[in-house]
Amino acid sequence: MAHWAYDAIFYHIYPLGLCGAPGRNDFCSPATPRLAQLYGWLDHIEGLGANALYLGPVFESTAHGYDTVDYYHVDRRLGNNDTLARLSAALHARGMRLVLDGVFNHVGRNFWAFYDVLTRGEGSAYRDWFYGLRFGPRSPYNDPFTYEGWNGHYDLVKLDLHNPAVKDHIFQAVAAWVREFDIDGLRLDAADHLDLDFLHELAAFCRSLRPDFWLMGEVVHGDYRRWVNPKTLDSVTNYECYKGLYSSHVDENYFEIAYALNRQFGEGGLYRDLPLYAFADNHDVNRVASNLTDPAHLYPLYALLFTMPGVPSIYYGSEWGIAGRKLNGNDGPLRPHLEPGAAARTAPHPGLAPAIARLAQIRRRSDALRHGAYRQLYVAHRQLAFARDTPGESVIVAINAAGEPAAFDLPVPGGCELVDWLNEGERCAVRGGRVRVEVPPAWARVMVARC
């Protein structure tokens, strides 16, 4: 039986940003249940066709959420544990899954155990919890010891994941999250920096809690099979196709994304059987609307995202085509405070959200789009066509990024007729094993073969 994630469409929220939380935690204010704002999003999320919510960091932290202070308590800027438990119950009542961020590679300098080292020095019982911590040399913060920070950032203190006490602390936190919040999985931050032995143990522990627990890792570079396998993770972020999705449009070069899809999912593809996490943007990268040079390309881009192999995800606000670029390393413009009604009224591209909802509806009704093999049928600079096949269904997808209609011939099994699910049931006749398909400007056809 296929894992539930094969049938998932994710909606991704960075809660500290969306909910308008203060940029820094004062660690003394009473809990403010800003997470309750998400109730106002649930109808919209369901209306888009999403059935799973990936909620970015929610546990007590110093600033941006990835500098954890306490794994066992919800960040007071978002509420308390009861706030999250109630939200989770509301999601599950709608049949939606909940996945949280697991930030286990590093913690913030205010993390309780690191604070103990700062306070007690060499007498701290937690001096061995942190990777490379040694007394004598001074850190960039002028501590009487040095340690390793994530990617050179000393405000992010790397945990020693070989330490049994550290692992037990993390595993018990995950058990508490399952028990208190009924989570369905974790997105593992900086998974490509996590020790593989730790990931093996974490995966076994999570699956002992619930067999269908989903583990997806943030991996930017490398062979995805190193992380996605029966002993480790279920999925990783597909950064190769993320890049190809926008740059193939910017450069008018569909050969780029076609090459990536063939390499990953075509006959003999490296990841043909893996449900990789597919996305157009997220909280760490420019909004896709800011990467594109022609806004019309949002439509064929999302048509690709929802018909290519993988588990598609929508980053909050991008369904309206809002812009957002990093400014001098500042991620704030990528993570704005939004209210769904106001965002919809001021949407730069008001037709995009309904188009995404239509694509999601089609994906959810099609076994081939969710589970099928991938076959390239045609590629040109601004056009791409491929088939998604299961034994019981064949779907042909034709994408056109040009500003004018494009027509091309595609091979189709003899005796079939193609019914276009995306464009009000338009039909294309098949003659001699081929079909002539015309695709509107900056749009797509998603055609099921009726034989």
Q: Which residues pair with 22 in a beta bridge?
A: none
pLDDT value of residue 433: 87
pLDDT of residue 431: 86
234 close to 271: Cβ distance less than 8 angstroms: no
Tokens of 214: 């989903």
Cα–Cα nearest to 8, from 275, 299, 381, 401: 275
Which CATH topology does 371-450 take?
Immunoglobulin-like (2.60.40)
Tokens of 122: 């060499």
Query: Residues 339-357, buried b or exposed e (16+ Cβ, 10 A)?
Result: ebeebeeebebeebbebbb
Query: 411 is written with which tokens?
Result: 């091979």
Exposed/middle/buried for residue 115 (C-beta within 10 Å: 0-12, 13-18, 19+): middle
**CB neighbours of 380 closer than 8 A, spacing ≥ 6?**
254, 408
- Are 235 and 276 in contact by the 8 Å Cβ rule? The answer is yes
Q: Domain ranges in the chain?
A: 9-112+160-368, 113-159, 371-450
pLDDT at 416: 79
Which regions in the chain score pLDDT beneath 50? none
Other beta carbons within 10 Å of 188: 25
Q: Which of 388, 421, 367, 448 is nearest to 7 (CA)?
A: 367
User: What is the pLDDT at residue 432?
Assistant: 85
Cα-to-chain-centroid distance, residue 254: 23
Q: Tokens at residue 356, please?
A: 């995404």
- Contact in structure between 36 and 83 (CB atoms under 8 Å): yes
Residue 182 near residue 153, CB atoms below 8 Å: no
pLDDT attached to residue 1: 67
Cβ within 8 Å of residue 109, ≥6 positions away: 62, 67, 115, 118, 141, 154, 155, 157
364-371: Cβ within 8 A, 24+ apart = 364/7, 364/9, 364/49, 364/51, 365/421, 366/393, 366/395, 366/421, 366/448, 367/392, 367/393, 368/393, 368/394, 368/395, 368/448, 369/306, 369/307, 369/395, 369/446, 370/6, 370/7, 371/2, 371/6
Which among 300, 272, 410 has a CA at the least distance from the CA of 356? 300
Q: What pairs with residue 438 in β-bridges? A: 407
What was the pLDDT predicted at 33?
A: 98
Report whether 237 contacts 220 (CB < 8 A). Answer: yes
Beta carbons within 8 Å of 437's beta carbon, 6+ residues apart? 385, 396, 398, 407, 408, 409, 410, 418, 428, 445, 447
pTM assigned to the model: 0.97
Residue 152's SS3 state is: coil
User: How confident is the model at residue 325, as a pLDDT?
Assistant: 97
The closest of 302, 421, 306 to 363, measured between CA atoms, is 306
Instruction: Please list the residues that pair with 52 across neighbouring strands.
Output: 10, 97
CATH code, residues 9-112+160-368? 3.20.20.80
Burial-class residue 291 by CB neighbours within 10 Å (0-12, 13-18, 19+). buried
Nearest 5°: the CA angle 31, 35, 40 is 140
Question: Quick one: the chain helix, strand, coil %, rounded to 5?
Answer: 35, 25, 40
245 Cβ contact list (under 8 Å, min separation 6): 257, 280, 288, 301, 304, 305
pLDDT at position 379: 98
